[in-house]
Structure formats: C-alpha cells, structure tokens
Structure 1
Amino acid sequence: MTHAPQIKIPATYMRGGTSKGVFFRLQDLPEPCQVPGAARDALLLRVLGSPDPYGKQIDGLGGATSSTSKAVILSQSQRPDHDVEYLFGQVAIDRPMVDWSGNCGNLAAAVGPFAISRRLVAPERIPDNGLCAVRIWQANIGKTIVAHVPIANGVVQETGDFELDGVIFPAAEVRLEFLEPVNEDDGPMFPTGNLVDDLEVPGIGTLKATLINAGIPTIFVEARALGYTGTESQEAINGDPKALAMFETIRAQGALRMGLIQDLHEAATRQHTPKIAFVAPPTDYVASSGKPVAASEIDLCVRALSMGKLHHAMMGTAAVAIGTAAAIPGTLVNRAAGGGERTAVRFGHPSGTLRVGAEPRVINGRWTLTKATLSRSARVIMEGWVCVPWASAPPA
C-alpha cells in the first residue's frame, strides 16, 4: 500500500507575550486553506496535533495548553492606513475545533515583528533604527492595533532587557495600542446595560457580575463570593475538577446573558470567548516563579480562565478588559481596586504583575473606549517549514 507523503508549508513558531503560536503568511497556505472553512480548520488542527484525547498534542506543534495551541494567519492589508491583516485561531486540544471568535492580545505582540521580517510591511515604513509603528487590522473582531516594534540596523530587534512576568527571559519591549476597542458603532460595552448584574447560576446561586465587552468579552465575579482570595495558583484551580466545572457553568450563563450565545449548549463550541475572571482587593502572595508580590505594588488581584483552565499569567485581551473595567467607577473590578477614577491599573496574576492603561469615556450616554495600552515582548523561536501528513491535510 502506498502512503501519501507529507507536505511542507512555510511557517514560523513565535512567542508573543505569554503565548506561543504557529505563524503563516496567507499566500503560503495550500489554496483550499487560503479561505475560511473546513479545509483551513483541518489543516491547523493537524499542525497543532489536535484533537488529542491524551491532551498532550504529541503529534503536532501544540504545547497542550491554551497559551500554546494557537495559529496566526497574516497577509498584507488592502485597507487604508493598515499594513497587515491578522487572523487568530484558538485551536482546541481535545476536540476538533478552531475558535475564530476573538483576538489574542499576547500574540498581537508578535504580529508586527513577523510582518516586518516577512516583508508584509512596506520597506519605506521601516526605519534604520528606532520604532516601526505597524498598523494591524485584527480581522477576528474588526479592530485596529498599533504595534511599536524596535528596529536596529534595519531589522527587528528581539533581544533586550524588558521583563514580562510569565516569561522567564528578558527581551525587547513591544508596546501595543488597541485603538477604539469599543466605539459608538459597536454593541454596548456593557451588553446588559448594567455595570453590575445579578447573575443566576443554577446549582451555585446568584452572583454579582460585571459583564463587559472591551478587548474581549469577559465575565468578572468576586473571588470571595466563590470562596477564593484572588491569589490562587494555577494548580489550585486546574487541579480541582469541581472548580473548573463551576467556572464553566458560570461562563455559559454569562455568555447567555451577554447575548453571545442563544442556547447554553453553544458554550461548548465557543470556548475562546467569553473569558471568565475573578477579582479581589490587593493582597500579598507569592507568584509561580517564587517572587513575592506585595499588596502595595498592585491595585487588585485577578485570576482568569482561558479554554477551561486557569491561565498561568494573563491574556492580553483580558488585560484590556481589566484595565477598562478598573477605570469605570462602579464595576466589580473598579471596586476591587479601591474605587475612584483611573487611567491605568497594575494587577496581580499567577505569574506576577501587569500594568495596562485604558481611556474609557461616555458618548451619547454610553461607555466607549478610546484606547488601551500595554507592553509585551516577542521573538522567533523557529522558522522554516511545518510538515503535515498528506492524508490528514486538505489537498493542495
């Protein structure tokens, strides 16, 4: 019996923020995969090694966590004032699903460097030295991100002394600006019209919740209402199946209340959004690296779940939601941070701390968000070709 050979596709494996993913140029994908659909999803699933009932993604590039099971497809943008179009796919580990419903703020830090090095940015836009402002159209959510990428001697500078909690080695800083993550043309930032809702969750009770769509749809609840302190480690939550089931139940009810799904069963097919997080006032704790975090260093504590598990640090898009909610008096996040008005917040997460700026304002009686900012880092880990078994991949 003759078996089909593997195909080779140009690809780059990159770290962006506290995530890793496989990056492709759209033009390098097999022709059936250059458009959305089953062929593209099947290819990305096979590249990452999903679905894997063992949960390890041994036969692919996935790292068996939500932070490392990701794919990015980039192309030159045809939109005015944009350099590149960025499409993000969150690849499920144990099921045959690619979720295209949201953005990845962490990998957004790697989009600019990849676009520059793969000649998706016009050469005249790249300085010999300094910062290159790469204008990114985030295709999943239809928003603009500007990545300020350091350039040295005409090429992307990846090394540096910028430290990001959740990443062990320092690198060059990439500053991200999320422009108008929420504006007048979008649906309401608070889908229910309330800063705080009473969310009825069968089997758990009625919880106070802030339901916000800024950066990414996010459900915030109070840590104390669930018996937590907001300083929990990743193992404390992910090692407790009952806790994970509880959070998924809350997430599904919140998604329904936000109008993101019409039936609770749909939540299982929409794992990437919304996110769910729990907040608490600032408290001393020890980060996963062993570094002590003092209450005096932060404004509040936040723990967030992604793809059904507690995140080891913080998703970039969820950080935007945290910063936005913290700046709006009356939300649960703002209350946990001590109340009042603010334009930036520093919060504690399992791996350390993160600062995010946000500029929300009221226009025509409705909250909007002008800009959110945060700094990450990124670098190429490996580049070349990813090999995909021909029989398991869509035909070229």
Structure 2
Amino acid sequence: MTTASTTHPAPQIKIAATYLRGGTSKGVFFKLQDLPVAAQQPGAVRDAILLRVLGSPDPYGKQIDGMGNASSSTSKAVILSRSTRPDHDVDYLFGQVSIDQPFVDWSGNCGNLSAAVGPCAIHMGLIDAARIPANGTATIRIWQANIGKTIVTHVPITDGQVQETGDFELDGVTFAAAEVALEFIDPAAEGDGNDGNAGAMFPTGHLVDELDVPGVGRISATLINAGIPTIFLNAQDLGYTGREPQAAINEDAHALARFEAIRAQGALHMGLIQHESEATNRQHTPKIAFVAPPSSYTTSSGKEVNARDVDLLVRALSMGKLHHAMMGTAAVAIGVAAAIPGTLVHRAAGGAEDAGAIHGGGAPRQSVRFGHPSGTLRVGAETALVDGQWQVTKAIMSRSARILMEGWVRVPGDVLVER
C-alpha cells in the first residue's frame, strides 16, 4: 500500500509564447517582459525554463514532453524586446537548446529564425505602429545580442498586417510563403587576424590551415568567423562526394565522432575554447561543413538537382548531426568564404588554388548558389580587399517565416527554483 505524500509538487505556470517557423527552423518565441521575473535576466532559472519548454534534457532524444521536435533545427528558443540601442528596433537573443544534455548554448545566432524576428516583433507589438505601412514593406533593424551584430529584415505588409502567405519557395520547407529578405550587416568578426585573435574573420591569419587532429590525422580547413564561426573541409579529403544525404552521416557513429574531433581542434585554432574538452559544452559553435565541386544529385524530397544549376555542394553539421538543409548563419559563412579567393569554399566553386595567406589575390565572387541535402540556396556577399585585408559589408539572402501557434506554454512551477 502506498502512502500519499504530504507535500504537493508545484503546479504548472503558463508563459505567453509564440511558436514560429523561420526558414528551415522552428522555435518558441518569448517577449522578455512576459517571462517570469527571475528569467528576465541570464542565469539558471532562464535556462531551466527553456529546457523544460522544449522538453530537454531527454535521454530518449525525442523531446516528447515539450515543444521540441528532436532535431537541432527545432530545439530553439528566442527572446525579443524593444531595443535600447540607437537606430535599432528590437533586441534578439537566441538560445540553442540541447536535446539530450541539460544546457542552453548562447554562443551564436540562428540565421533561419532571424527571418521570423521581424514578423514576430510586429506581432508582439514591439514595433511602433507608425513604422508599419498600410501596404508595402516594413524595414526592421534587429540587434542580434548573442554576437553583437545588426540584421536588417524587410517584412512584407498587407492591410497593416504581416503578409505570411505567398509564392516564395524555400528548399527544405514544404509549402510556399511570403519572402522575407535579410541583410546581415558586417557579418564577419572584428580583429586583424594576425595573432590568433578569435574575433578576426580569419582567426589564424590564413585562408587555409592544416589541422593535426588526434585520431584523424592532418586535414586542410578554412576557419572563418562570418555569420557564425565555421570550419570548412574538402569533401574529398574525408572520402565524401558532397552529395551525401543525412542518413549517410547521421547513421555513421564513426563519421560523427571524426567530425566532432575535427570541430574541437578547429575551435582551439580559432581561439573559441582553451581546452579540447570545452567543445562538448559548446555544441552550437563552431559549425563544421564539407564542400565539393558541382555534381548532380537527388534531394531528400526526390527532386533532381543538376550540376549546372549550382556553384558548389555543401553539407553542414549542427549540434553533432548533419543538417537537413542549411543553417542560415552557415549560409552567410558560405557566401562570404565563397567570395574570397583562396578559401576552400571559393576553390570548390571553381576558384584557383591561391596561397593560404589572408591577403589572397583575385576578384571576389558576389553571390553563390550551393546545393544542400534539401535543395539549393543562393546567398550574396559584398566583400572588398582593403589594405591587404578582406572585409565584408553585408551578406544577403531570402527566407520565409510563419506563425504556427500562439498562446501560452506551460511548465512545472519548480523550474523557478534556482538550483
């Protein structure tokens, strides 16, 4: 016979939230002021709430008891507030919620969900009504708080409301929607790149480095801070073609372990971590991707991509798994790296194998269309060689966004107890 406990578990609390798709990702969006007071600043309580909302940590890897959908693309949270910075409309903070571990990674941005920030900010009343035209386009300036960068988004407006439906098609998303154009302003990190500075666009001072990876060997890599810190590898060096579907990588435990070993070594070279073991708790950054010259392949939806329709192929990993399409921030990194002669990305797109110096010569490429597991994506970058150093003023791409659900999320009240 069991005895009833004399203490009762804390009841559930409810928090206003909006569930949106942005690009090829989904996330739970909160207005900062709607969070419990203890979660309106960074810390354990905020992280505990977001983990419980998404259903993490889940040793089953399914997030059944939360809003997450068991992939890095759908285990995401966003906090928005009116911007306190001059010439900006909204502050945007992104949290990548681990699926099976008890942590939230705040180290980078989500480029896909960036497309949903402007529409959601309007929906939440964070943008002054005078800024919203009756019909046309609302230009919203976003401060990306994780990385301290500006994003300009152009949101279509019809009859004073965000236009969400339309005929813009995005590979990796089943249904068409309205196009949201994004400009990532000055997306590269700052620094001179000559002293291993983690803040530089090329932290090691080279366009191509040779990494000595324990258990893997020596491998060439382009290490770049643009959009998000990213490690680019040659597919051929790994025994791949660049046409690989998700399952070819994600069902190969040896391959995933090899990528993680390379990622950790790249993070050390980029100055993002001081010890290799730190990479375990920094899953969101850096990203790792492999590139290959154009080749025809079949996408995950069965569509044929012809080699002549792309400039190169890219497969990228996020949170330890091959992404089903392409992370938006990694797309920015691809666009910037493709623009700069000498990088592995530029070479895969048909560029010459220039020397690995940071001042590599040649004309920059203005845009690139690359193939990913779900289809293709075009991204542009405005770059220039100034005083022997590459600079990028902005990267440009289009995504779409749509509100899927709005109301409240509910979580057990004990998440408010700081541990």
TM range (shorter): over 0.9
**Secondary structure of the equivalent of 2:300?**
coil
SS at match of 1:361: strand
Q: Which residue of 2 aligns with 1:188?
A: 200
Equivalent-residue separation in structure 2 for 1:327 and 1:178 (angstroms):
15
Q: Residue in 1 aligned with 2:49?
A: 43
For the residue of structure 2 that corresponds to 1:276, the secondary structure is strand
The answer for the alignment partner of 2:338 in structure 1 is: 326
| 1:195-344 alignment runs, 5 A limit | 195-339=207-351, 341-344=364-367
Q: Does 1:106 align with 2:118?
A: no
State yes or no: 1:11 paired with 2:17.
yes
> Displacement of 1:183 after TM fit?
6.2
Q: Aligned residue for 1:128?
A: 134
Letter in 2 for 1:296: R
* 1:80-95 correspondence runs (5 A): 80-95=86-101
Partner in structure 1 of residue 77 of structure 2: 71
Counterpart of 2:354 in structure 1 is none
Give the structure 2 partner of residue 171 of structure 1: 177
% same residue: 73
**Contact conserved, 1:188 with 1:367, CA < 8 A, in 2?**
no
Q: Alpha carbons of 1:24 and 1:349: their partners in 2 closer, same or farther (altered >3 Å)?
A: same
Larger CA deviation: 100-109 vs 336-345? 336-345
Residue 372 of structure 2 is aligned to residue 349 of structure 1: yes
Which digits, 9 at most, give the CA deviation of each residue in 1:30-88, with x for residues without a partner?
00000001110011001101000000101110111000000000000011110000000
Is 1:26 the counterpart of 2:49? The answer is no
Q: Secondary structure at the match of 2:78?
A: strand
Equivalent AA in structure 1 for residue 382 of structure 2: E
Amino acid at match of 2:154: H
3-state secondary structure, aligned to 2:112: coil
Aligned partner of 2:410 in structure 1 is 387
State the number of aligned residues.
395
Question: Of 360, 365, 374, which aligns to 2:397?
Answer: 374
TM-align CA RMSD: 1.1
1:362 Cα offset (Å): 2.5
Cα distance change of structure 1 residues 297 and 320 upon mapping to structure 2, 3 Å threshold: same
Q: CA deviation at 1:363?
A: 2.8
Alpha-carbon distance in structure 2 between the residues aligned to 1:208 and 1:53: 35
Q: Given that residues 184 and 368 in structure 1 are in contact (C-alpha distance below 8 angstroms), is that contact kept between their aligned partners in structure 2?
A: no
Query: TM-score scaled by structure 2?
Result: 0.93
* Matched residue type, 2:74: T
What do residues 222-280 of structure 1 show as CA deviations (whole Å, max 9, x unaligned)?
00000000010001100111110000000000000111000000000100000000000
Shift in Å at residue 184 of structure 1? 5.1
TM-score, normalising length: structure 1: 0.98
Per the alignment, do residues 184 and 101 of structure 1 end up closer, same or farther by CA in structure 2, a change over 3 Å counting?
Answer: closer
